[in-house]
Structure 1
Amino acid sequence: MDASYSIVIADDHPLFRNALFQAVHMAISGANLLEADSLESLVQLLETQDEPDLVLLDLKMPGANGMSGLIQMRADYPDIPIVVVSASEDASIVTQVKTHGAFGFIPKSSDMRTLTDALKQVLNGDPYFPAELITNKAASDDLATKIATLTPQQYKVLGMLNDGLLNKQIAYELNVSEATIKAHMTAIFRKLGVKNRTQAVIMLQQMQPES
């Protein structure tokens, strides 16, 4: 394959980044590989480089709370294909990843051949989602669809609720008024079809990846 591909590997585990490096080199000899170990370092990288051909994104790394990293990336860099690489192999996570606009999903348990085949497929312009992890369960799809209606800021607020922060603490962290946070909360509850923050947090946790 064309060796001029530029690929970013965003994962906070050095050993797995190394494994991905090997897989990418097997799939595309001589590709330009870049690393990021947090959402912040990924954003800084993208701000200083030409847009890459592909980002391999871990769902859980510093700065990313569940789907928040993917949501932020899709909002800020809509033209960059993003393939999620995760230790979670729950079908509902794969459903949510698809709903949020990822171009593919590769389980971390995949062997080297599967990794290389998946990389070749997405770089050829075809999405990659393991058939055995695609679910048609209505409840899972409905939950993923509801979560996907949240704006990046609303998802961030929901993540902070999940961390146990109070409204005034969230307002401070996001540098907005407490009234703005209350407005976000009202919108979140309406979109998720829940009545309080406890129900909202439980819904988020049902869709959280393991790693």
Structure 2
Amino acid sequence: MDPARAAATEHGGVSREVLIADDHPLFRDALTRAVLGALPGAVVHGAASVPSLLALIEAHPQAELLLMDLHMPGARGFSALAHIRGQHPGLPIMVVSAHEEAAVVRRALAHGASGYLAKSAAVEDIGAAVRAVLEGELWVPTDVAAARAELKPDEAAVAARLAELTPQQFRVLGMIAEGLLNKQIAYELGVSEATIKAHMTAIMRKLGVSNRTQVALAASQLALDQAPLPAIPEDD
């Protein structure tokens, strides 16, 4: 048995599992301590990128809560949130972000987040938020109305399409948005270029576009800002 799980079960019964995704080790560790303070005996699993997070979710389907940052390698803005909500609708997601603007909070809720925490939140607030979301409540900063906003039609349409991608297709999408070529993506994922081309065909079909640039532009609909995209080479 995993040592963390063994220690947790000593506190009685089956341990609760929580996933934390943030690419900053110190903040991930701080979140872990806050979660364990709120849920003594819980087992916490961490990820530093979207690809590792997708693998973590697949490895721990019994997890009861995911706390995730909006900025991680493998995704821009709300794209990972939209994808995971579509693939795992039963997993509550708490966004934990440095962005404290009310508009960002409302967009996160509209994309299906069960809660939103600013990274400046006190440890006590993190614990309260975790307990509230696990009890089925919605948690937002005190200065933001809890009502879920409506997404713009284009953004809602892209989110729905991203939800249809398989985890591997979403990994490929993130690398396309970073400007990687098929051969580079194939190397990173340890598969053939032919496999990446097959994923590309499926991604374009699901997103309703016809080339790599349009794939990246579609994904940018879920960005937090309109920062320019990297050059997207058209691969053969």
TM-score range, shorter chain: 0.7 to 0.9
How far is the alpha carbon of 1:63 from its aligned partner? 0.9
Aligned length: 191
Could you list the per-position Cα deviations for residues 19-61 of structure 1 after superposition, in whole angstroms to 9, with x for gaps in the alignment? 1011111111111111111111111112222320001011111
Matched, 1:147 2:158: no
Answer whether contact 2:138 2:146 (CA < 8 A) is retained. Answer: no
Structure 1 counterpart of 2:200: 175
Distance 1:44 1:107 in 2: 26
Q: Relative to total residues, which structure has the larger helix share, 1 or 2?
A: 1
Distance 1:21 1:209 in 2: 32
Structure 2 counterpart of 1:84: 95
Structure 2 counterpart of 1:42: 53
Where structure 2 has 5 or more consecutive residues not aligned to the other structure, the ranges are 1-10, 181-195, 228-236
Within a 5 Å distance, the mapping from 1:16-35 to structure 2 comes to 16-35=27-46
Distance 1:183 1:145 in 2: 15
Where structure 1 has 5 or more consecutive residues not aligned to the other structure, the ranges are 166-170, 190-196
Distance 1:9 1:45 in 2: 10
Structure 1 counterpart of 2:127: 116
Answer whether contact 1:39 1:69 (CA < 8 A) is retained. Answer: yes
Indicate the SS of the match to 1:94: helix
Change (3 A) 1:94 1:173: farther
Q: RMSD in angstroms over aligned alpha carbons?
A: 3.9
Normalising to structure 1: TM-score of the pair? 0.72
How far is the alpha carbon of 1:76 from its aligned partner? 1.1
